[in-house]
Structures are given as C-alpha cells and as structure tokens.
Structure 1
Amino acid sequence: MAVSSSSLGSAKALACFHASYLAPRRTASSSTCPRLPSIKMCASPAPPAESRKTVWVWTENRQVMTAAVERGWSTFLFGSKDLANDWSSTARILPLYIDGLEIFDEGNKKVAAISKISSPSELQLIQPDNVEVQNTVIHFQGDWQVIPAENIVAAFQGFAGTVLAVSKNSTEAQVFLEALEQGLDGVVLKVENMDDIIKLKDYFDRRNETKSQLQLTKATVSKVEVVGMGDRVCVDLCSIMQPGEGLLVCVGSYARGMFLVHSECLETNYIASRPFRVNAGPVHAYVTVPGDKTSYLSELRSGREVIVVDQNGLWRTAIVGRVKIESRPLILVEAKESSGHDTYSIFLQNAETVALITPDRGSGGRKAIPVTSLKVGDEVLVRKQGGARHTGIEIQEFIVEK
C-alpha cells in the first residue's frame, strides 16, 4: 500500500498527502514500500498491530476545504480537472479529479476506481481478484450501509490495496471505519457542511489513537477506614472488560490523582461475574472520559463514553449502557505516591466485588485487591494529573482541596 515518488511527485507532496490515524490492522502488508500505482502513503515503519486510516474530502465548498486542511486532511476529490487546478492555487492540497468511474492525479495518472453498489448482486462482484487498481472507492447507492460495509471488510481481508467508502456525513463515516470492528481502510467524506469535518476529526480525537497509553504510577495505601452510608454509582458498559481493566476514578475533592478501579469481571463464591460493570464510587467522584476530560459519576448517562484502562496504561473508549445509583456502606482509601509528597483518596463501596488494580510487578501475580482485603502498605495504581478542573477540563489555578 505504497506510492513511488514518480507517481505522486516530490517527497514534499507525499508528506502532506493525507492525515492518518492509528487503528487495528486489517491487512497483512509488507513492512517495505513497493512501487505500486497506489495513492496510500508509505509511512514510516509502525508496530505490526497498527495500520492507518485514510480520509479524502469530496466537496465544492471552500469553507469545508479550509476546515479540512486546518485539521490535517489535504487530499480532495473534484468533479473536473479545472476545478482541481483552481482550488490548488488557493491552498496547499493534493487534488484528485473524477472522470466517470475513475480517479486521476495532477499528472493524469489513474490512481483509483469507483465502484457504485446499488444491489446485493453488484456487491458480490466487488472482490479483490476483480480489482484492477490498488485503490478502490466504494460508493453505496441508497440508505443501506452497515451490512454491505461488513461484507466488504470480510471480502477484502488481506487485500494489499486501499478500500474506501463514500460517506455523506460523519455518522456514515464512523460506520465504515468501525465495520466488523476493524473497518475499511478509510473514507471519502462527501459533504458541503463543515460541521461534518469537525465531527469526524472529533471522532478520531476522542479515540486519540496515536496516544494509546497512559502513564500510571504506584501508590502505597496509607489508610483504610470504614465510613458511613453514601450513594454509590455502578457503571454498566456496552463492552466486556478483561482482568486488569477498569475505570480511572477519584473523589471530587482530590482531582489530582485518580485510582484505577477494577471491573467486576473476577469470579467470586457469592456472585456471578459481571465483566461489563465497574462499581466506581460515590456520586461526587470524577471518572475519566475521552478528550482528556473528567465527568462526575452522577452525570454519566446511557450513550456517553468513558475511558477503560488496563494494568499497563493501555486504554480504549467504551459506551455507557446504564448507570445505577444505590445507597451502600462506603470505605475511605488513602494512598501516597512513592515520593510521599502527594496523598490521594477515594471512597468505594465496602464489598468484596469492589477492587483496586495493582502494579503488574510486586503484587504476587494479583491484578486487583478487593477493598475488603486492602491493608496499609499495599500498592495500587493511580494516574497523576493537574489539581484543578473546571467543567471536567484541567486548568491551572490556585486551589486547596481537603
């Protein structure tokens, strides 16, 4: 999935060819960059579990073009070569123009073919063996998308080229990028409203796929105290969590340090495993959400997203399915980081199914310690951050929390 300098011009043009975002790899492409008539950029070597999503923009609105360029997308499709040349004079872009069902670059080199799909029989004709160019743009006719997109992902598994789908808005683009979890290689966003550009960029930013690991630190438990009753929040997700995964939570009075609270995925003798649930803490506690923000647990609703983090700091987003608030007995846990300067605290329900995640090493192989077994001297994982928050956004200001 590479392009030679002869097919796209200078290396400088290649550098600004398209914006890429990390996502699970679907293709088994080589680590080298063969000289093929493809217009997918040959990037620097990436970890084998990663590949890149491609975004092209198809529009006749200059505001849309400006919004796309500002967000790092510079490949544009035009209905004519004259229009492509005209727009190239006003912004630094890579113009491609459409002629019938074929797409050409500035040098009149054919770089992609468009396949219009309006029926299941036409969909079956789109197979890797029938594709003559490295880049295939699928243009679905009508309102149906999800199942056809899944069929395309399955059919082109292992295909060395690039498969993109034309999307009429950011929501459709998300469908194509997530089909069968791995999604197509990219999308052609055909829009005349800059809001769709902004929403699609926000979609990538929420996943923040180029920063998939958070820095966690060890903290030593300094206090465990049974306190009174409080309203605690169970967060049920639309995703399954594995041992060692949970949510980052802190009490509202100490936003500078967040505890990694384990899910209820572990089996016990008294209750069945609920790997979709985190018994996260009281209503006033903060939880980490996408965009480097926090939300009060009491403000979570069905459909919102949270950040699921594992023992090594690797994270992903998950959708909240339900929030359950009930009055339960609470435990106060305090812990100090290794330097001893900062103390963090959290309230959790006093129950065997509620646990804090431990460091990968030095915990005797345990991934989590139930709060009912927690004692002074145990090590748990926390995430350090700034001390002040305003509407969930970290800010720099003088603040005293007790």
Structure 2
Amino acid sequence: MAVSSSSASAKALSCLHASLLAPETPQRTVVAASASLLRRASVRMRASAAAPAELKKTVWVWTENRQVMTAAVERGWSTFLFGSKDLGKDWSSTARINPLFIDGPNIFDGENQKVAVISQVSSPRELELVQPDSVEAVNVVIDFRGGWQVIPAENIVAAFQGCRGTVLAVSTNSNEAQVFLEALEQGLDGVVLKVDDMDDIIKLKDYFDRRNEAKSQLPLTKATISKVDVVGMGDRVCVDLCSIMRPGEGLLVCVGSYARGMFLVHSECLETNYIASRPFRVNAGPVHAYVTVPGGKTSYLSELRSGKEVIVVDQHGLWRTVVVGRVKIESRPLILVEAKDNSGDDTYSIFLQNAETVALVTHESGSSGRTAIPVTSLKVGDEVLVRKQGGARHTGIEIQEFIVEK
C-alpha cells in the first residue's frame, strides 16, 4: 500500500457546501449547520506518518455482525458506524469501541456532535456537488453508486487536496477499499468498510501490512567484498516490476535457502552508454536464490510470477511493496561474489550475471556519488550493503533450527 505522495503530507479537506442524503434516504437534502458546530464536529482521524510522503489511513467499520466487530478490534480498528443506538450501546458494553451513529445524511458521535456527512454519488452531476468549501470544515463519507468508482474517486482526491478534514468512501469489500486507498496514488483519506463477513476485515488488514503504510526501515549493514570469481553458465532471473525504481533502490537477494545475509541488488535504472535504462528491472540472480517478499518472508526467484509482490529497498533501508509485472529466465554467464560483515563473523555469498548492468548497492553517497558498484568492477575490499537475518528457512519463513549450508 503502498500509497505515497510528497504533497500528501499536508492533504486534507474542508466541508461540503451542499451534500446528498445517505443511501437510506431517497430524496436530496442540503446539509446546513453553523460554522461553530462544524468546527466542533470536525475530527482528525489521521496520524502522522513515520516517514515522508506517507499518510495514515482511516478505517471505520459499518456492520451488524459481532464477529466482524471482534475481528476489527483485534486488528486495531475501533470506530464503528451504527444505524441503531441500541446496538451501539450494546457493543460498547462488551468492547472498547468508538461508536458513531447514522441519522439521515449525518454521522454523530456518542455526545451527539456531528462528525461527518454522508454524500451519495451516482452521476457526474452529483459528483460536481461534492466540492470543498473554504469556510466550514467537516469530514465526508462518500457512497459511490452507479458502477463507476475509480474515476470519481480520483476526481475527489484531486478536488480536496490541500484542504482540512477527512474524506472516506464506503466500501462493500476489501477490493473496493483498495481501489479507494490507491486512487491517484495517494488515495482517499480512508474507507468505511460496510461488510458482514470477517474475511474482508482480515484481507484489508493484510493489505495494509503488505503495503507497509508506516514505511518502516529495514536495518542494513556494510559488508566487505572478500572474493569475486567468474564461474560457469546458469539460469538467471530478471524481475520486471510494475513500478519505477530510483537510484539506490533494488531487491534483497541471497543464495538459496542460506538467507542469513541478503545482498541489495541494484535496479537497472542507471544510464549507460551501451543500453537504455530500465528502471523497472532488477537482474536479480539465479533461479535458486531467495528474494525478500512482504510479511517477513522470502521466495525463490524461480517462484515469482506476474501479480506477486516483492519488497523494494533503498540505501537507507526504507522499503515499499511493489507488484511483479513479469519474470524473465535466461541462461547467462555467472559471477560468484562473497563478502564478510565488518565484525568478521559471517560470510555471505551471491551469484549474479556477469554483466556491467548488474550492480550491488554501496553505502557510499558522499564525494564519490556512487550508489552502486557493477559486479564487473567489484574488487576485494569494496563495501556493499547487506541485510543480516536468521539463516534457516522453511517455505520462505524464518525458523530456528540447526542448519549447515555450503
């Protein structure tokens, strides 16, 4: 998820000057309230991101299923929408939740303060009415009807950027939620998940975990090249992604199930004299090598397919989840690279294609300006970046067991 934009950190919205009724109400109503009430009602549901260009997304749950409520609370979502105050009070007595109550086109909190308005959008004309107002501020829940979702959601993201407040969209399943959270890359501020199946709660939480909304950092360490040997032919894997990579970014790859040390293999985003830049590609290594994927797991390069996800990491350890577009396996001459961590306790190794476009990420970024060293230029004593972790793996999951690999 993942969804990011440098301009999104200041993103919010102001209120609607006119709004449509909630789905339960057939006719149109203009929502009017005093500025002071709207200011009190406006609530900020978003938290600061842990890294630049990341926004915390809001999730409200709209359900009458107690199992859905339990699943949501267990995953950290405690704001629920109710059509009945009795149901909200009942659930509040059994779980620590933040109940909100729907009354026509409005949403109120437990103290009867208005926190949002609901607007139904089923036509271009109705979409035009959903516009920010520069005076009053309120949170908006939009129910997209009529079959169109992606383009209307993108229009809302564009219209409300740079304003104060929160815009959420009603989603009837986790797939719809993902559409709204990724519209125009940065997405809406959040979703109201209106479901009665706890699987949608689980899938949406898995989505957030995969997208790594908080943009956490992976610890990387320096390792010193100790051996560079040209070896024979092998089947190597080029991983073409559905995203563009920048200088300093690549995939974490290691030899086979010996996943104790993952090398940061650079993308082909750098310009060369002999071949065009391919910033979507990483010439990652042989078919038996491991690559880091979401969920703290690894996958054999040979197991990657179109539609699977991998982790892209930069020099500073910041990572994001990206989708694999295709995988290309070809026989090419290989080179064996070994490196020792600076403590001298561990030795790591990797096979890579012996070509100038294949490079390992270096820690250097100062006067030399180097972000990567081509494997054809590697020499003993060069320093590259690796990720240290546990050595034993079972089906890509790190396990604690006695293991010897050579």
Question: Same-fold call, TM > 0.5?
Answer: yes
Please name the residue that 1:353 is paired with. 357
* 2:22 is equivalent to residue 26 of structure 1: no
Deviations 1:172-227 (A, max 9, x none): 11111111011111100000100000000001111223352111110000000011
- The secondary structure found in structure 2 opposite 1:129 is coil
* 2:193 is equivalent to residue 158 of structure 1: no
Matches within 5 A, 1:129-140: 129=133, 133-140=137-144
Deviating more after overlay: 276-285 vs 310-319? 310-319
The 2-side partners of 1:346 and 1:46 are apart by 32
Deviation at 1:29?
6.6
- Taking only aligned residues, the RMSD between alpha carbons, in angstroms, comes to 2.1
Q: Structure 1 residues 200, 221: closer, same or farther in 2, change over 3 A?
A: same
The 2-side partners of 1:261 and 1:281 are apart by 9
Identity, % of aligned positions = 83
Deviating more after overlay: 58-67 vs 101-110? 101-110
Q: Structure 1 residues 289, 45: closer, same or farther in 2, change over 3 A?
A: closer
Letter in 1 for 2:355: A
Please name the residue that 1:89 is paired with. 93
Please name the residue that 2:28 is paired with. none
Please name the residue that 1:292 is paired with. 296
The 1-side partners of 2:383 and 2:113 are apart by 61
Deviations 1:302-355 (A, max 9, x none): 000111111111111111000000111100000000001100000000111111
Letter in 2 for 1:26: A
TM-score (norm 1): 0.90
Matches within 5 A, 1:165-314: 165-314=169-318
Deviation at 1:380?
0.7
Deviation at 1:364?
2.4
Please name the residue that 1:380 is paired with. 384
The 2-side partners of 1:258 and 1:399 are apart by 17
5+ residue gaps, structure 1, are: 1-20
Which protein has greater RCO, CA pairs closer than 8 Å, 6+ apart?
Answer: 2
The 1-side partners of 2:50 and 2:381 are apart by 40
Letter in 1 for 2:8: R
Alignment check: 8 A CA contact 2:219 2:387 kept: yes
The 2-side partners of 1:377 and 1:73 are apart by 50
Letter in 1 for 2:10: A
Aligned with 1:40 (options 40, 44, 47): 44
Q: Which runs of structure 1 show a deviation greater than 6 angstroms over 4 or more consecutive aligned residues?
A: 44-48
Letter in 2 for 1:245: E
TM-score (norm 2): 0.89
Deviations 1:50-76 (A, max 9, x none): 432110000011110010010010000
Matches within 5 A, 1:111-150: 111-129=115-133, 133-150=137-154
Deviation at 1:49?
4.0
* 2:55 is equivalent to residue 73 of structure 1: no
Alignment check: 8 A CA contact 2:265 2:360 kept: yes
Alignment check: 8 A CA contact 1:23 1:53 kept: no
5+ residue gaps, structure 2, are: 13-37
Letter in 1 for 2:114: K
The 1-side partners of 2:243 and 2:196 are apart by 34
- The secondary structure found in structure 2 opposite 1:97 is strand
- The secondary structure found in structure 2 opposite 1:51 is coil
Deviating more after overlay: 90-99 vs 62-71? 90-99
Alignment check: 8 A CA contact 1:224 1:333 kept: yes
How many residues matched? 379
Letter in 1 for 2:401: E
* 2:321 is equivalent to residue 339 of structure 1: no
The 2-side partners of 1:336 and 1:79 are apart by 62
Deviation at 1:28?
2.4
Letter in 2 for 1:145: Q
The 2-side partners of 1:287 and 1:42 are apart by 33
Deviations 1:10-51 (A, max 9, x none): xxxxxxxxxxx9955625279xxx974223247579766443
Alignment check: 8 A CA contact 1:112 1:134 kept: yes
Q: Structure 1 residues 390, 313: closer, same or farther in 2, change over 3 A?
A: same
Deviation at 1:254?
2.3
Q: Structure 1 residues 43, 270: closer, same or farther in 2, change over 3 A?
A: closer
